[in-house]
């Protein structure tokens, strides 16, 4: 039986419980009427079911159709190609709630809770092509080596005026000054203050869910903001990014504007990234394996970078998943277009920030904010892992500006990225052959959907000239 202090501790917790019995008490104490049982699909969209709280704690079995995780971002089901195949009977996948993620939904008018779920098949085995399980598979590889990766994502996004007609370009919103926000506001406190009330709502919604923001800044783009999260375990941080995206969108909607995580939402403005800081600790000692005892860089540190350089171009489609993502990765803008690395060099794909030995880490600056956080983290960590176990050496670090010379050493578009992703045999092992085939098939389907749309560029330059 729980002691009074223990009862008070979990009932007062804003995020997570240890058992279904605790969940029942937690929900009752808050007068929760409904609970959203959600899971990220391959795009990172929350899918699931809403149910009465009493039914949730009554050992109810929840399921979703498998095809739900095989459709495009536009909701279409692509043709079977390559190794992409649908389940012949579109069988159910069971939702298994992760009780550590239980929290309130603070923007709902009625008392509502939410919980993130894993997916298993009817036999109880983890479904290998679902995002949370892909990341868990990669983390198991680290576990087998006695390692534990630590990550800290930084997520950029734009606030834009409401846009109900997709044929019209997005525009910056009106701030509290009554004027449309302009670019060139990097780290401007005044730029942040333009949206004081919205940002207050982001903080309040986050606090109510037990989500901790480290810092918030204004980026260089017009009404472009960035949220930095505290470092921690990859699953926990992927969950937080997943929840933060919902939170920020809801806070913006409350103020009658949109928040978008598109990689390149506004022509001529910087793109939005999801930079990932990564280090690895020895589970036995708790020490950072990127540093030797004397504080110097370890060989594992160099091997991790070597793996990033060797494999990230092939894994780019997991970090830049849409046609729009590659509009961000163009030279002359703030995003890297290379697989170079350097010390405190923001023009490289892989930056090593200035730190002491215990904080030595590698920042992957390639992922865009439109990426599914589970898949982006899985891809980045898998590439570093392959370098560590394979003893790969990086090239020499650079202190040059390497993103403005017109050279792009990455896949230039979605189809090219899919092709190199499928061809990398190492990924069939670290991610599973099933995931590689499924993900590639969906991305090919999304490209075909994109090709059905005629762009303004085509109407402007081809209409009367060809």
How far apart CA 149 and CA 138 sit, in angstroms, is 10
Q: Per residue in 104-153, pLDDT tens?
A: 999 999 999 999 999 999 899 999 999 999 999 999 999 999 999 999 99
Q: Per residue in 410-428, pLDDT tens?
A: 999 999 999 999 999 999 9
pLDDT of residue 81: 81
Close Cβ partners of 345 (under 8 Å, ≥ 6 residues apart): 351, 397, 398, 399, 400, 402
pLDDT of residue 173: 93
Q: Per residue in 428-460, pLDDT tens?
A: 999 999 999 999 999 999 999 999 999 999 999
Residue linked to tokens 């959907």: 449
DSSP 414-433: HHHHHHHHHH-HHHIIIIIH
- Pair of tokens at residue 388: 């560590």
- Pair of tokens at residue 48: 């699931």
Q: What is the Cα 228 distance to its own chain's centre?
A: 13
Which residues sit opposite 62 in a β-bridge?
95
393 pLDDT higher than 80: yes
Phi, psi for residue 11 in degrees, rounded to 5 = -70, -35
DSSP H stretches of helix in 57-155: 131-144
Phi, psi for residue 254 in degrees, rounded to 5 = -60, -30
**Residue 381 CA: distances (Å) to CA of 289, 324, 391, 392, 446:** 14, 24, 15, 15, 26
In 3D space, the residue among 329, 303, 301, 299 whose CA is nearest the CA of residue 417 turns out to be 329
What is the enclosing helix (H) or strand (E) of 235?
helix 234-254
In 3D space, the residue among 370, 351, 364 whose CA is nearest the CA of residue 446 turns out to be 370
pLDDT band at 95 (very low <50, low <70, confident <90, very high): very high
Cβ proximity of 13 and 210 under 8 Å: yes
How far apart CA 274 and CA 281 sit, in angstroms, is 22
Q: Per residue in 97-118, pLDDT tens?
A: 999 999 999 999 999 999 999 9
Q: What is the pTM of this model?
A: 0.95
- Pair of tokens at residue 251: 């806070």
258 pLDDT higher than 90: yes
How far apart CA 218 and CA 201 sit, in angstroms, is 16
- Percent residues over pLDDT 90 in the chain: 82
DSSP H stretches of helix in 255-406: 299-319, 325-328, 373-390
Return mean pLDDT, the chain: 93
pLDDT of residue 265: 96
* DSSP three-state, residue 411: coil
The predicted model gives 360-373 an average pLDDT of 98
Q: Per residue in 290-348, pLDDT tens?
A: 999 999 999 999 999 999 999 999 999 999 999 999 999 987 767 899 999 999 999 99
Cβ proximity of 298 and 391 under 8 Å: no
Q: Per residue in 1-14, pLDDT tens?
A: 445 555 568 888 99
Phi, psi for residue 69 in degrees, rounded to 5 = -100, 20
What is the enclosing helix (H) or strand (E) of 351?
strand 350-352
The predicted model gives 170-185 an average pLDDT of 84
Q: Per residue in 58-82, pLDDT tens?
A: 877 899 999 999 999 999 988 888 8
Cα end-to-end span (Å), the chain: 80
184 pLDDT higher than 90: no
């Amino acid at each position: 039986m729980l002691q009074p202090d223990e009862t008070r501790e979990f009932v007062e917790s804003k995020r997570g419980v240890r058992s279904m019995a605790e969940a029942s008490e937690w929900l009752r104490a808050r007068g929760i009427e409904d609970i959203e049982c959600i899971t990220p699909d391959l795009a990172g969209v929350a899918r699931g079911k809403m149910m009465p709280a009493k039914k949730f704690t009554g050992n109810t079995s929840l399921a979703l159709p498998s095809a739900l995780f095989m459709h495009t971002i536009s909701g279409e089901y692509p043709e079977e190609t390559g190794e992409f195949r649908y389940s012949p009977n579109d069988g159910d996948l069971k939702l298994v709630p992760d009780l550590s993620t239980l929290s309130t939904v603070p923007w709902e008018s009625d008392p509502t809770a939410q919980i993130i779920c894993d997916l298993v098949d009817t036999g109880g085995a983890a479904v290998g092509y679902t995002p949370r399980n892909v990341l868990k598979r990669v983390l198991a590889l680290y576990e087998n080596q006695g390692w534990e990766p630590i990550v800290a994502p930084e997520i950029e996004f734009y606030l834009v005026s409401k846009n109900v007609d997709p044929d019209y370009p997005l525009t910056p919103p009106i701030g509290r000054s009554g004027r449309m926000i302009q670019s060139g506001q990097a780290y401007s406190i005044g730029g942040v203050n333009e949206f004081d009330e919205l940002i207050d709502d982001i903080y309040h919604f986050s606090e109510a869910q037990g989500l901790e923001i480290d810092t918030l800044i204004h980026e260089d783009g017009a009404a472009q903001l960035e949220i930095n999260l505290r470092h921690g375990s990859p699953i926990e941080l992927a969950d937080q990014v997943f929840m933060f995206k919902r939170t920020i969108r809801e806070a913006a909607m409350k103020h009658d504007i949109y928040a978008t995580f598109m990689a390149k939402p506004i022509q001529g403005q910087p793109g939005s990234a999801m930079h990932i800081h990564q280090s690895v600790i020895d589970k036995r000692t708790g020490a950072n394996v990127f540093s030797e005892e004397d504080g110097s860089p370890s060989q594992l540190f160099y091997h991790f970078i070597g793996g990033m350089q060797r494999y990230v171009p092939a894994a780019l489609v997991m970090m830049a998943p849409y046609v729009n993502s590659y509009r961000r990765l163009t030279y002359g803008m703030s995003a890297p277009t290379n697989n170079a690395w350097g010390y405190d060099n923001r023009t490289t794909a892989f930056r090593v920030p200035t730190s002491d030995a215990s904080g030595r880490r590698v920042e992957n600056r390639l992922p865009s904010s439109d990426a599914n956080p589970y898949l982006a983290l899985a891809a980045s960590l898998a590439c570093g892992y392959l370098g560590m176990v394979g003893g790969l050496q990086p090239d020499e670090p650079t202190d040059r500006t390497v993103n403005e010379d017109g050279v792009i050493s990455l896949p230039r578009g979605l189809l090219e990225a899919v092709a190199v992703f499928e061809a990398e045999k190492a990924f069939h092992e670290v991610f599973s052959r099933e995931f590689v085939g499924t993900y590639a098939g969906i991305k090919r389907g999304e490209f075909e959907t994109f090709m059905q749309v005629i762009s303004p560029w085509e109407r402007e330059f081809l209409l009367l000239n060809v």
